[in-house]
Structure 1
Amino acid sequence: MKYLLMIYENEKAWEALPKAETEQLMGEYSAYTDSIQKSGNFVAGEALQPTQTATTVRVRDGKRLTTDGPFAETREQLGGFFLVEAKDLDEAIALASRIPSVRLGCVEIRPVIDFSDSMG
């Protein structure tokens, strides 16, 4: 089953980290990504640009509305994700607990709906 591991962290806290700590975390991310690629769990993963680059889109009464920035102000922002293949939620939790930023923020795990069987 596929799970989306959404990485939330405080952008301001991340930006305030000393360069050496940022480099260490990026090295840990590289090692983590390499390990889940080798184990066969990796499907996809990306880091996201900061929230100030976001655009939120809504359509109301047939009119498209766009807003600069994220939908809501929060203390933690979505900073990236991994899409993984795991046998069950326990394995997904184990994978999420190894993501380096889990020490700074949190990782939300969401199972992905597989529509392939119903779209015959």
Structure 2
Amino acid sequence: MAQYLLSIVQPVGEVPPPEDLEPVMAQLAALNEEMQAAGAWVFAAALHQPEASTVVRADGDGVLVTDGPYAEAKEFVGGFDVIEAEDLDQALVWAGKLARVLGGLPVEVRPVAQTF
């Protein structure tokens, strides 16, 4: 089975209030349970907003550390799932279910080339 990264793309901005977010999180938990039962789920995580990031770059013999995202953008990867699927078509089915749970947020599907 191949692994696929399902990246959840969301707009930069305020986190929805709990009354809006809680039903989505419950549906997301149910989808994760469905993927686990099907043997597709490997790992999932939510990420903080881009301003919480730190960028590290090689700089000669040292490193340069800066606050904030690498690039300014209106959207960012807000979370991700790593799944196992027989092929891209099966991965796209899971991505479609994820996009529906997330109210239509885009989900980028990318095959994992290699694990270390």
Report the TM-score, using the length of structure 1 for normalisation.
Answer: 0.85
- Which residue matches 2:20? 21
The code of the aligned residue for 2:68 comes to G
Pairwise CA distance, 1:64: 0.5
Q: Tell me how large the CA RMSD over aligned residues is.
A: 1.7
Partner of 1:2: 3
Q: In structure 1, what is the equivalent of residue 107 of structure 2?
A: 107
Partners of 1:102 and 1:86 in 2: CA distance? 23
Quickly say closer, same or farther: Cα 1:114–1:102, change in 2 above 3 A.
Answer: farther
How far apart are the structure 2 equivalents of 1:21 and 1:96?
21
TM-score normalised to the size of structure 2? 0.87
Q: Within 5 Å, which residues of 2 pair with 1:1-120?
A: 1-12=2-13, 15=15, 17-99=16-98, 100-101=101-102, 103=104, 105-114=105-114
One-letter code of the match for 1:58? Answer: R
Deviations 1:86-118 (A, max 9, x none): 111111111111112261x311111112368xx
Identical residues among aligned pairs (%) = 35
Distance 1:41 1:115, change over 3 A: closer
- The Cα shift of 1:33 comes to 0.7
Runs of 5+ consecutive residues of structure 2 not aligned to the other structure = none
Which stretches in structure 1 are left out of the alignment for 5+ residues? none
- Runs of 4+ in structure 1 off by over 6 angstroms are none
